Amino acid sequence: MQRLMVYLIWLAMTFGGFAARAAGDTKAEQILAQARAALGGDRNLNKVQGLSASGTYQREMGDRRLSGEITIDLQLPDKMLRTESMRPMGDATIEMLQGVNGDQVLPHSRTIGGGPGMVVRMGPPPGGADGDAQALRNQRADMARFALALLLTTPPSMPLEFTYGGEAEAEDGKADVIDAKGPGSFALRLFFDKKSHRPLMVAYRGAAPRMVVQTRRGDGPPPATSVPGDLPPPQVVDIQLFLDDYRAVDGVMLPHHLSRSVDGKPAEEMTFTTIRINPVFKLDTFSPR
């Protein structure tokens, strides 16, 4: 029901527009202060220097519906790692890692089982002379969005300016809207429930994720469509991240269910069964694999 309300709020904002924008940055500061109090207060939130969220996910990829296990590790101020494992077919297990450690991007994938003919391909990384720098910016932006959505904080590498974005209204309720802008083209909108003051949704523009799983038999060449680099650049679309099922963890209210909509279509759901605050990470957790 709460996710439905958020979706209706988003539609109301899109088609009905915001209520009059007033009070500016002072209003934004007030809404953020209310939200931090609703999540446990500054005292508890400021103690959070890291967290580890583990659970399951489901994802729509073209005509495939994928599912598996997911862990997101966050260590402030500049480390985050997202680890996924799935079994797309047979006994093959695919493990994918994406993240950032300071100035270093942490991409990695491997296939366990499935035979030598299985090929797993993600969308192409940013190309050109600025490719590595763009990949780093993308991962830092992902980390900033995640930290902001769960903890209402951002790393020093992504300082943000907040302004009041008005009010979104639907039959099921209302939400306060905050616009956030950072370095370069980083921008997003935060939606806060007017009753609970908790974050309901994060809306932003981003690249649509893609993945292709292919197999080939024998020693023959892979299909023509599996030539590296043949996937076109990803489209930049509207993305919404919905947050609900808040539960207390060491005095902090954290969402245990996240769902993502890409270009207006449901794309991903994450259900966290365990969230630990300030865990002791292994020394190589955020190291290249």
Q: How far apart are CA 39 and CA 207, in angstroms?
A: 30
CB distance 213 to 120 below 8 Å? yes
Segments in the chain forming alpha helices (H): 2-16, 24-38, 41-45, 131-151
Beta carbons of 180 and 188 less than 8 angstroms apart: yes
pLDDT digits 0-9 by tens, 206-251: 988 765 555 554 455 554 444 444 556 778 899 999 999 999 999 9
pLDDT tens for each residue of 244-288: 999 999 999 999 999 999 998 999 999 999 999 999 999 999 998
Confidence of residue 55 (pLDDT cuts 50, 70, 90): very high
AA identity, residue 128: G
Instruction: Give the CA distances from residue 136 to residues 102, 166, 236, 266, in Å, rounded to whole numbers and listed in that order.
Output: 9, 32, 17, 27
Q: Among residues 35, 53, 48, which one has the least CA distance to residue 199? A: 35
* Distance of alpha carbon 246 from alpha carbon 269, whole angstroms: 15
State pLDDT tens for residues 70-83: 999 999 999 999 99
**Of residues 216, 181, 174, the one with CA closest to residue 197:** 174
pTM tops 0.75, yes or no? yes
